[in-house]
Amino acid sequence: MNSLALYLLRRLAAAVLVVLVVSFLIFCCLYLAPGSPEQAILGPQQATPEALATIRSDFGLDDSFVLQYWHFLDGLLHLDLGRSFQTGESVGSGITSRLGVTVPLALGGFLVACVLGIGGGIIAAQRRGRMSDRALGTLGVVAASTPAYASGVLFLYVFGVALGWFPVSGSGDGLSDRAFHLVLPIVTLGLVGAASMFRRTRVAVVSALERDDVAFARARGLSSREVLQKYVLRHAMVMIATSAGVILIFMLAGAAVVESTFDLDGVGSYLLTSINDKDLPSVQGIAVVTTALVVLINLAMDLLYAVIDPRIQRGAAAD
């Protein structure tokens, strides 16, 4: 489909533009940040003016704003995110070395959110108005209103300290140990996402159930399961997919909070440490990578709609 390719190209160009704009905004933000970078690099120790000058030229801090941004962009093109002020190591490798914690955490949380949220949402919608629906709804409200760090600390206390089932901190070594260490963080992260997924799924399924075409399908004798699969879920799918995208993006922010709550050495806690240490290149690098991810997820979602709904492909206005 030619127009689809064209559409794709346009969206991709827009995505690149967004990443550029955001990277520029972040750059401005960092440029405006209070305190001088070289102080951040050296830390609290006293430094000779010569040492400061060396650092300034080393990190190109004497260049003009535009030149500095240009260097940064040039690096981006070569997938070089610069060097950390703090450790001097490359920001790129700093991120990749921590993906081993963050990726399983975010994906695990996403999975928990989808399974609990979608499953619960469908059940609640089918039993709407009944006790089980209300109970699930109240649970959903509790999960949605509890900040991730709060449930994290609570879980740590209950399952880590009081019951002693799970480790209290650290990322663990080796696959099974790492998985074991990640159970509580994943559940913590997943629950917040599940609450939002639950609410949106329930609304989507309830409105799908009230549709005429669903009533008509039932009137023609389709079984409950067929009606659910071919009609109700098909309608609810667009909204569920949107929510899934939103929640996947949420997982990025959530991971930072959860990593810091559970003392995990992931990209999120790397970001927070870098912020505290005024390690600007690291903050910038992580922010740009995250922006790119957010934009990509949004793009994938838009493509997904076109697959789900034939009306979009055929260029007709919805309904």
Q: Please, which of residues 90-109 interact with another protein by CB under 8 A?
A: none
- Which residues from 55-84 bind another protein, rule CB under 8 A? none
- The piece of 79-87, 98-106, 127-135, 179-187 that touches another protein (CB under 8 A) is 127-135
173 lines the binding site for another protein (CB under 8 A): no
- The piece of 43-51, 68-76, 104-112, 209-217 that touches another protein (CB under 8 A) is 209-217
Give the residue with the Cβ less far from another protein, 71 or 218.
218
164 lines the binding site for another protein (CB under 8 A): no
- Which residues from 238-277 bind another protein, rule CB under 8 A? 249-250, 252-254, 256-257, 260-261, 271-272, 275-276
- Which residues from 21-40 bind another protein, rule CB under 8 A? 26, 29-30, 32-35
Cβ atoms of residues 24 and 287 within 8 Å: no
In 10 A of CB 135, how many CB atoms? 12
Q: How far is the CB of 99 from another protein (least distance, A)?
A: 17
| Candidate residues 87, 97, 224, 229; the one interacting with another protein per rule CB under 8 A | 224
| Candidate residues 167, 280, 282, 285; the one interacting with another protein per rule CB under 8 A | 280
Give the residue with the Cβ less far from another protein, 51 or 233.
233
Give the residue with the Cβ less far from another protein, 112 or 228.
228
Give the residue with the Cβ less far from another protein, 30 or 51.
30
138 lines the binding site for another protein (CB under 8 A): yes
Give the residue with the Cβ less far from another protein, 90 or 126.
126
| Candidate residues 9, 111, 141, 175; the one interacting with another protein per rule CB under 8 A | 141
- Name residues whose C-beta falls within 8 Å of residue 202's C-beta, 6 or more positions apart in sequence: 120, 121, 122, 124, 125, 128, 137, 140
| Candidate residues 69, 149, 180, 305; the one interacting with another protein per rule CB under 8 A | 149
Q: How far is the CB of 121 from another protein (least distance, A)?
A: 14
Cβ atoms of residues 148 and 158 within 8 Å: no
In 10 A of CB 121, how many CB atoms? 26
Cβ atoms of residues 124 and 136 within 8 Å: yes
128 lines the binding site for another protein (CB under 8 A): yes
Torsion (CA) 296, 299, 305, 307 in degrees, nearest 10:
-80
142 lines the binding site for another protein (CB under 8 A): yes
161 lines the binding site for another protein (CB under 8 A): yes
Total binding residues for another protein by CB under 8 A?
86
Give the residue with the Cβ less far from another protein, 53 or 246.
246
Give the residue with the Cβ less far from another protein, 74 or 226.
226
Sign of CA dihedral 206, 207, 212, 213: negative
207 lines the binding site for another protein (CB under 8 A): no
| Candidate residues 101, 186, 209, 267; the one interacting with another protein per rule CB under 8 A | 209
CA 139 to chain CA centroid, Å, is 23
